[in-house]
Amino acid sequence: MTRLNFVLLAAVLLCALATVTSTHRARLLFADLENEQSRQKQIEVEWRQLQLEQSTWAKHALVEGIAERQLGMHAPDPRRLVFVSPVTSAPVAAAGAPASASASANGAPAVSGPASSGAPAVAQ
């Protein structure tokens, strides 16, 4: 009877210690989780700020200003645009053929694709 009591006492102590260690480990893990979560929040905030920064740098007014002043770029003359149709693959000469002196002087024929499809514009 006494032996059984001792065994049970030992078991209770063991259990108690196990509870203490597992609680401690749970708290450590929880702290890690907390850290990671706050890092996630921080990164999210940073991402938002970077997104904002990107849009600010990509502002059309800014891009236009740099392109014009620093790089000396300008929009191509509409006469030098070639519209290629994705359906027919080869540009089809249409109404615009005799259009531009400046374009043919460059050796670039001015052609326009059929009006039926929303073809992307390609500047030459």
Partner 1 sequence: MMNSAPSPVLQLRLPLWRSRMMLAFVFAGFMTLVGRAVFLQAWDTDFLQQKGKSRTVRDIEIPAYRGKITDRNGEILASSTPVRSIWAIPDDVKASRDQLRDLARALDLPVDELDKKLGDTDREFVYLKRQLPPEEAEKVAELNLPGVFQQREFRRYYPAGEVAAHVLGFTGMDENGQEGIELAYQQSLAGKNGSRRVVKDRRGNIVEDVAGVQAPREGKDLALSIDSKIQYLAYSQLKQAVELHKAKAGGIVILDVKTGEVLALANLPTFNPNNRNNLTGQQLRNRVLTDSFEPGSVMKPFTISLALDEGKITADSTFQTAPGRYKIGTATISDSHAMGILNVSQIIEKSSNIGTAQIALKLQREDMWNMFNRSGFGTAPQVQFPGAVGGRVRPAKSWRPIEQATMGYGYGLSVSLLQLARGYTIFARDGDIIPVTFQKAEGPAVGTQIIAPQVAHMMRGMLELAAGPHGTAPRAQVMGYRVAGKTGTAHKQEGNGYSHDKYRASFVGFAPVSNPRLVVAVMIDEPSDGRYYGGDVSGPVFSSVMGAALRALGVAPDAPMKPIVLPSAAEQVRENT
Which residue from 45, 67, 73, 87 is in contact with partner 1, where contact means CB under 8 A? 45
Question: 46-85: which residues touch partner 1 (CB under 8 A)?
Answer: 48-49, 51-52, 54-56, 58-61, 64, 75, 78-79, 81, 83, 85
Is 89 a binding residue for partner 1 by CB under 8 A? The answer is: no
Question: How far apart are alpha carbons 43 and 36 in whole angstroms?
Answer: 10
Helix H segments across the chain?
2-57, 60-65, 101-105
Between the alpha carbon of residue 38 and those of residues 24, 41, 51, 60, 77, the distances in Å are 21, 5, 20, 35, 53
Is 118 a binding residue for partner 1 by CB under 8 A? The answer is: yes
Question: How far apart are alpha carbons 110 and 124 in whole angstroms?
Answer: 9
Binding site for partner 1 (CB under 8 A): 26-27, 30-31, 34, 45, 48-49, 51-52, 54-56, 58-61, 64, 75, 78-79, 81, 83, 85, 95-96, 99-100, 110, 112-121
